[in-house]
Amino acid sequence: MRVLVVEDDKRLSAQLKEALEKAGYAVDQAFDGEEGHFLGDTEPYDAIVLDLGLPIKDGVSVLREWRKAGRATPVLILTARDAWSEKVAGFDAGADDYLAKPFHLEELLARLRALIRRSAGQATSSLDCGELSFDTRSGTCTIAGKDVPLTAHEVRILAYLLHHKGRIVSRTELTEHVYAQDFDRDSNTIEVFIGRLRKKIGEGFIHTHRGQGYRMADPDAGARSFNSESLK
């Protein structure tokens, strides 16, 4: 999962980036409203953390322009503790949630998880697919109650597929959502990680649709909803 942090306080931005990366996210940063607007308008993110008090272009203007352009990415705004009018303006501009500074990083992470879940139509912090269960809070995976050790990249890919369970996800889409902007992206490496995931969780969960991408489904129930000839 990929997150954009738009925050002009470089110390706070660095703290957010570190915490988000430890939680398994790919993270991009912007330090003013103009740069933040450009990235949010041109790159696909699963969520955005947006400070409202930004230089060059304020956060409310940035958010309003994203929404006017049809960008529906979940946005968590950051405001000064007593700036209730900023909160109202942020929500009116299209914000999904807010945090007042100073805040606890664990609360920010929990709010982001909730935003991403709701955006994908998921109600709980546990993403399940047959006997496979993924805890979005800890980034851990179990199958029939047994722990499955995964690397950071494997976690990102599995989490994205589970958030979009039942839908075919292209290699390009996966690449865009599991790597930060400054990472040397290569969609071919996705095949490698998909292969590793299959070895760890079993062959039946991730289905390949030739020329289209991958679909996460319950091995017992999911395959019946698609023509088996389209599966590799």
- pLDDT tens digits, 15-53: 999 999 999 899 999 999 999 999 999 999 999 999 999
Taking each helix axis from N to C end, the angle separating 171-178 and 188-201, rounded to the nearest 10 degrees, works out to 90
Sorted by where each begins, the domain ranges of the chain are 2-119, 126-230
Nearest to 101 by CA among 122, 74, 79, 85: 79
CA distance 45 to 11: 22
What CATH number labels 2-119? 3.40.50.2300
Q: Is residue 13 predicted with pLDDT exceeding 90?
A: yes
Task: Extract the tokens encoding 106.
Answer: 């664990």
Q: Which fold has domain 126-230?
A: Arc Repressor Mutant, subunit A (1.10.10)
For the full predicted model, state whether its pTM sits above 0.85: no
Quote the mean pLDDT of the chain: 88
The pLDDT score that the predictor gives to residue 203 is: 85
